[in-house]
């Protein structure tokens, strides 16, 4: 190990930065975040660095570096583009026994600035010892995506209760087990889901020795339109900790594979006119599993609150006193349209957008057609494949021009994506000529014409067009 990782307290202490350009500014920003009082020596100084010096309560000396500038400082940073100056700073800092960092010159350094993941008070640092800083930044990026921002709040909770836990448990091993249970259990999940006050209440009760019954919870999670890269960080975290998963047909297999490997999986269907498990039974199953103390993941394609019956499910959970969380997902309208190169709004074509279900609760297609014919709006029909001819016919009959651009997107955002474009008059004919299967999305409006210029993702499948 070439460098020993240490965390240095700089709060209110003076740090010397030699140099006044962009690189010096970047280092100064980090030092300022750590509470350092900046002393900057440079003939010319970046305007933003001046502001930072003033903010830190430090001082600026607009001149060249001279011997003795290191005096009174606890850390030295050389950030100039003059090698002789950097060498001089390094040598003098080493003679004084002060830690020194010379930017992009590992051989002159006794300390290295790592790539930092800041979840204060939790801080994670990654370093290559100055040999591969780009690689260190890439590793940091991976860690950033894996560690939720709320981990800082979790660390803050531990800080707040640390002395109480130490008084409660004399044994170090007992304290370790206690905190593991806190971080990995219901209390930790409360913090991560933004319920800090409830977490503190539960932790207080736990310290007082009150043992409550094991409580389950339901995670209502939107899986997005199909591309696993569109999952949110919170969705992925809950997917990987759930004990049981209830999923429907619209959840892509690649997304289901990202759930915890040993979780029980229950397929509940959700195909037009073909529900493997009726909705009322799904609602009851969520309640029953949670009452068994299980963490239940209800995984839905798209967003659970947009034609996903998520509202119906959590109504039942709320009525039964079951704890739940809701994690939004990218709905099919925005996801599929974006991957098809069709902006849903555009100042020149559409100033509003409407999301419409292609079939109603009674499996009819009886919609307020007159309201859907206004110009300047984009219409997006979910679950409209079977009703496509009726949708186009009724829009034309109620006043929408027959040559209004329209598109049908099949399995949008996935490698199987196919896009059919035409008009209200021609689209049903075009779709009928090809074997098309759900899930599909229908987009109606002038914005469809932009696809010719903006299409960027075809998913390896051909596009189908019928001239207007």
Domain ranges of the chain: 14-113, 151-207, 217-327, 341-465
Q: What is the CATH number of domain 341-465?
A: 3.30.950.10
Which H/E stretch holds residue 159?
Answer: helix 151-168
SS percent in the chain: helix, strand, coil, step 5: 40, 20, 45
Mean pLDDT, residues 180-202 taken together: 90
263, 242 contact by CB (below 8 A):
yes
The pLDDT of residue 118: 92
Pair 329, 304: CB distance under 8 Å: yes
Q: State percent of the chain over pLDDT 90.
A: 78
| DSSP secondary structure, 189-211, as one string | HHHHTT-HHHHHHHHHHHHTT--
Q: Any residues with CB less than 8 A from the CB of 468 and at least 6 apart, and which?
A: 403, 405, 422, 423, 426
**What local confidence, expressed as pLDDT, does residue 360 receive?**
58
Q: What is the pLDDT of residues 232-259, one digit of tens each?
A: 989 998 998 899 999 999 999 999 999 9
pTM of the model: 0.74
pLDDT(366) > 60: yes
**C-alpha to C-alpha distances, 150 to 153, 156, 196, 222, 351, nearest whole angstrom:** 5, 10, 10, 20, 37
Detail the residues annotated as belonging to a binding site: 22-23, 43-44, 225, 301-303, 306, 331-332, 383, 412
Over residues 97-111, mean pLDDT: 94
Q: One of 27, 270, 294, 300 is an active-site residue; which one?
A: 270
Confidence of residue 364 (pLDDT cuts 50, 70, 90): low
Say which CATH topology domain 14-113 has: Rossmann fold (3.40.50)
Please say whether the beta carbons of 417 and 338 come within 8 A: no
Q: Which residues does the annotation place in the binding site for S-adenosyl-L-methionine?
A: 225, 301-303, 306, 331-332, 383, 412
Name which CATH class applies to 217-327: alpha beta
Q: Taking residues 76-96, what's their average pLDDT? A: 96
Per the residue annotation, which of 39, 69, 227, 248 is the catalytic one? 248
| Pairwise CA distance, residues 207 & 210, whole Å | 8
What distance in Å separates the CA atoms of residue 355 and residue 85, rounded to the nearest whole number? 64
pLDDT at 134: 92
Decide if pLDDT at 271 tops 70: no
What are the strands of the beta sheet with 352-357, ordered from one edge? Answer: 352-357, 377-382, 440-444, 405-410, 418-423, 464-465
Sequence ranges of the binding site for NAD(+): 22-23, 43-44
Q: What is the DSSP string of 1-32?
A: --S-------TT-EEEEE--SHHHHHHHHHHH
Give yes or no: 39 in active site: no
Per-residue pLDDT of 7-31, as tens digits, reads 999 999 999 999 999 999 999 999 9
248 is catalytic: yes
């Amino acid at each position: 190990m070439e460098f020993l990782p240490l965390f240095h307290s700089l709060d209110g202490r003076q740090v010397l930065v030699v140099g006044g350009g962009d690189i010096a500014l970047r280092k100064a920003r980090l030092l300022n975040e750590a509470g350092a009082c900046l002393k900057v020596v440079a003939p010319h100084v970046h305007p933003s660095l001046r502001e930072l010096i003033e903010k830190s309560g430090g001082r600026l000396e607009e001149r060249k570096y001279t011997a003795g500038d290191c005096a009174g400082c606890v850390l030295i940073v050389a950030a100039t583009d003059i090698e002789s100056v950097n060498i001089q700073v390094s040598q003098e800092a080493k003679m004084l026994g002060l830690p020194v960092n010379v930017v992009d010159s590992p051989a002159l350094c006794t300390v290295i600035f790592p790539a930092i993941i800041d979840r204060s008070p939790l801080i994670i640092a990654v370093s290559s010892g100055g040999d591969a800083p780009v690689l260190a930044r890439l590793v940091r990026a991976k860690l950033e995506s894996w560690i939720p921002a709320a981990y800082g709040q979790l660390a803050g909770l531990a800080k707040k209760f640390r002395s109480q836990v130490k008084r409660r448990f004399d044994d170090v091993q007992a304290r370790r087990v206690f905190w593991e249970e806190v971080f990995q259990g219901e209390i930790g999940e409360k913090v991560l889901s933004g319920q800090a006050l409830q977490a503190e209440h539960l932790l207080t009760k736990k310290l007082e020795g009150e043992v409550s019954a094991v409580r389950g919870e339901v995670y209502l999670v939107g899986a997005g339109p199909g591309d696993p890269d569109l999952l949110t960080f919170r969705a992925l975290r809950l997917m990987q900790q759930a004990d049981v998963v209830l999923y429907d047909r619209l959840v892509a297999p690649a997304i289901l594979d990202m759930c915890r490997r040993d979780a029980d999986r229950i397929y509940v269907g959700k195909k037009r006119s073909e529900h493997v498990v009726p909705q009322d039974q799904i609602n009851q199953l969520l309640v029953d599993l949670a009452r068994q103390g299980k963490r239940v993941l209800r995984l839905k394609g798209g967003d659970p609150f947009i034609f996903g019956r998520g509202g119906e499910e959590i109504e039942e959970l709320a009525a039964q006193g079951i704890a739940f969380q809701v994690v939004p997902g990218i709905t099919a309208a925005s996801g599929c349209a974006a991957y098809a190169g069709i902006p849903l709004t555009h100042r020149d074509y559409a100033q509003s957008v409407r999301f419409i279900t292609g079939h109603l609760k009674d499996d009819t297609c009886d919609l307020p057609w007159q309201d859907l014919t206004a110009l300047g709006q984009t219409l997006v029909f979910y679950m409209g494949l079977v009703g496509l001819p009726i949708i186009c016919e009724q829009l034309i009959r109620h006043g929408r021009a027959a040559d209004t651009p329209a598109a049908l997107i099949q399995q949008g955002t996935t490698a199987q994506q196919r896009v059919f474009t035409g008009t209200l008059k021609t689209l049903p004919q075009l779709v009928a000529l090809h074997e098309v299967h759900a899930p599909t999305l229908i987009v109606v409006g002038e914005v469809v014409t932009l696809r010719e210029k903006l299409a960027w993702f075809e998913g390896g499948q051909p596009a189908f067009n019928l001239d207007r």
